[in-house]
Structures are given as structure tokens and as C-alpha cells.
Amino acid sequence: MTDRRRRAEISGGGFAGLTAAAALAQMGWSVRVHEKAPELRTEGAGIVLWNNSLQVIQKLGALPDLMSKSMTPPAYETRMNNVIQSQETLDGHRWRTLTRPHLYETLLIAAREAGVEVLAGSEVTGATAEGVITFADGSSAEADLIIGADGVGSAVRDSLGIPLTRERSRDGITRFLVPRRKAELQALEPDTEWDNVIDFWNLDPRVLRVLYTPANDEELYIALMSPAADADGSRVPIDLPLWTSVFPQLAPVLEVAAETPGKYYGYQTTRLDYWSDGKVVVIGDAAHAMCPALAQGAGSAMQNAWTLAVAATAASDADLPEALKEWERIERPLTDRTQDRSQWYADTREMAKGGQFTGESFEAAQYNPTDPHRHEVHA
């Protein structure tokens, strides 16, 4: 029997691509994911997820897997020069901290269980609005829907010539996964709750920040922030004497970070004129790379991957290009606001004041992209 299911080809097997793939396959599509890397694994260290992405993971049936190796810290604490500015418990709100490899595995399993074919070492060179995807080996394929989920340097986006702007920030970050070393930290600073997320800011006399995020019982995610212009602060391997002089209580974990390979990542925001062209649509960092301040890059990617799958499934083949435009019209404003807010935090470093989980800064974190009534206006 011929396969009459609609076919989706996805460029990029990151968080955006795998989420879209799992969702579409569960909704009845035949899906292939092309990942250019020779092996299926993720770079990076830890990640924070909020209600918007956790709702999507739940809908995919992957929540038990995700919960098995993640945690909800007792509070999100912010310090300035080691003085506590706020301790936000976020009671009643959903959030989890975890490692990137664990999120990646969770999504990969969900995608494969839904029947997605994930091809490593398959590089996409571009796509056409009419629905042809091309590969580095010279081959091509036709699809009813093509998704560019191929990150900030998206080949799919660039092959379509979608105009974009790129805004770079003065600060950047180096990320590490290290052992928790909780007993050693506790010995150095007994009154601290070392299960908290602790955002250690120092602005004066020098801008250096450590974001301390426990990811599970064994692993800790630490992100070391400094301006790109600070050669010693942004050096990798890290300048251990410098970092321990400013954060002596973190010495046990900074020592491990100093021996761990890493890469300094400069913050940037990418904004596109439009997200789709004919049968092709871009999602995730390919569409809306953002500063990490609100911890919403992957969250927004997964949220949009889900709503895109719902919108594409509801549309007929003939209506698909228009349905993609309508999806962008409805879903994009929140992502635009999230990008703007994250960029503002990166520019102003206002997060150092703490108390950030309110109002506009908490909007994306509370969003439920799986609620069919989410855009209804209530009188």
C-alpha cells in the first residue's frame, strides 16, 4: 500500500526540530529529520524550562521521562555582591532545571516512538517555497511541509533569502556541567540553600556573574558571564584565580570548570521579516534567536513547534501556505515580546536587581501553547 500520509522534512535535529517532528508524527504525518552532525547529541550544559515548554512535553507524552532526571529548586535567588536581593519561590508555577543531554534524549525518544526517522550526517543546503528540500550530497526530496529548524545559521532560511537583522550584545557566557559538590559548598557557606538557583551578580568594580543552577542530584549547571571586552573574564579555559577571587564560595565547582572545555558565547538577537514562504517555515533559533536572560530560547522554540504542528495539521494542502502565515500572525507577537524583553535585560543587566518573575518578564513562562482557547478574549 502506498503511504498516503502527508510528508514533512525537517532540517535540524535540535530542540525545535525534534519537538516539531514528534508532534507532527503523533498527528499522523510521515516525518524525517535531517541532522548535519555525524552523531545525535547536544552541545551545551544545563537548561531551565517553564510552563510553556513543559506543557508541550506533557502533550508529547514525554513528561515522566523528563521529570525522572530534573528538579524544581526550592527558590530562584538573586544576589548582588553576595547580598541577597530576592528569593522567589515561584509557588504554583511550573518550572524544571535539567541538563541539555537529558532534554535531548527525552525528545529524541519521543520522536522515535512516534515513528520519526532521524538521520544523522544529513546536511540540508536549502528549500524552495514549492516544497523541494535539497541536500549536501546533491539529492533532493519533495514534501508537503518543510521546516527549517537548523539554528541561528539556518541554511533553509538563508536559501529562501528571508531578510533579517542581527543585534549583538556586549555580554556573553561560558557554560559548564560540573558535579554538585554540595557538601563542599555547604562547608564553605553553611547558611546557603545550595539547591536553589543562585544568580550571583557583581557589577562593580567589575562585571562578572555566575548563574548557579542545580540540574539534578549529581549535576550542576554553571554559567559564567562577562563582557566580551573583558579578555580575562571571557577567557576559556577560565581564569580560575580571577573567578575564585570574586566568588570564593564557589571554588569547589569553579576548579572543575577550569578543567572542562567550553566556549564563550556572545549574546545575540535575530529578527526575521517573516517566518514562512509557501510550504517552508522556520522555527527556533533559525527564526528567533534570543538573549538567554529569560531562559526562553528553547522554550519559545518548543512552544512554536507545537502550535505549528497543530496549525499545519488542521490545514489542507492547498491552504497550507496561508495557514502558516496565519499561525505566525497569532503566535509570533509573544515571541517578539520575549525576544525584546530578553534583549532589554541583556542591555541593562536589570536582572541583577532580582524579583524578575512578574508581569511581562513572566509572560512566556506562564503561557500554555496547548490550550486551544488560549487566544480567546474574555470580556
* Sequential DSSP letters for 278-320: TTEEE-THHHH---STTS-HHHHHHHHHHHHHHHHHHS-TTTH
Q: Within 204-243, which residues bind ligand 3HM (CB under 6 A)?
A: 211, 223, 225
> Does 13 participate in binding ligand FAD (rule CB under 6 A)?
yes
Among 252, 299, 321, 369, binds ligand FAD (CB under 6 A): 299
Taking the C-alpha atoms of residue 96 and residue 58, their distance in angstroms, rounded to an integer, is 13
Binds ligand 3HM by CB under 6 A, chosen from 101, 233, 292, 321? 292
Contact 75, 31 (CB under 8 A): no
DSSP 144: S
- Using CA atoms, how far apart are residues 250 and 294, in angstroms rounded to an integer? 23
The CA distance from 53 to 370, in Å, is 10
Instruction: Tell which one of 108, 220, 254, 293 touches ligand 3HM (CB under 6 A).
Output: 293
Asked if 15 interacts with ligand FAD (CB under 6 A), we say yes
Sheet holding 7-11, edge to edge: 117-120, 30-35, 7-11, 145-148, 280-282, 276-277
Instruction: Fill in the per-residue mask, 19 to 38: x = in contact with ligand FAD (CB under 6 A), - = not in contact.
Output: ---------------xxxx-
Q: Measured from the CB of residue 226, what is the shortest distance to ligand 3HM in angstroms?
A: 11
Helix (H) or strand (E) holding 208: strand 208-214
Instruction: Determine which residue in the list 9, 17, 51, 96 makes contact with ligand FAD, applying CB under 6 A.
Output: 17
Question: Which does residue 88 touch among ligand FAD, ligand 3HM, none (CB within 5 to 8 A, set by kind)?
Answer: none
Nine-digit cell string for 29:
504525518
CB of 323 to ligand 3HM, least distance (A): 33
Q: What are phi and psi of 188, to 5 degrees?
A: -75, -35
Stretch 129-188 residues interacting with ligand FAD (CB under 6 A): 149-151, 155, 173, 175
Which is closer to ligand 3HM, CB of 141 or CB of 152? 152
Distance CA 220, CA 11 (A): 31
- Window contacting ligand 3HM (CB under 6 A); options: 22-30, 139-147, 248-256, 292-300: 292-300
Virtual torsion, Cα 235, 238, 239, 243, nearest 10 deg: 120
Which of ligand FAD, ligand 3HM, none binds 108 (CB below 5-8 Å, type-dependent)? none
Contact flag: residue 295 with ligand 3HM (CB under 6 A): yes
Q: What is the pairing mode between strands 208-214 and 117-120? A: unpaired
Mark residues 157-186: x for contact with ligand 3HM by CB under 6 A, - for none.
Answer: ----------------x-------------
Sign of CA dihedral 311, 314, 320, 325: negative
* Chain positions contacting ligand 3HM, by CB under 6 A: 48, 173, 211, 223, 225, 292-293, 295
* Chain positions contacting ligand FAD, by CB under 6 A: 11-17, 34-37, 47-48, 123-124, 149-151, 155, 173, 175, 223, 265, 284-286, 292, 295-299, 301
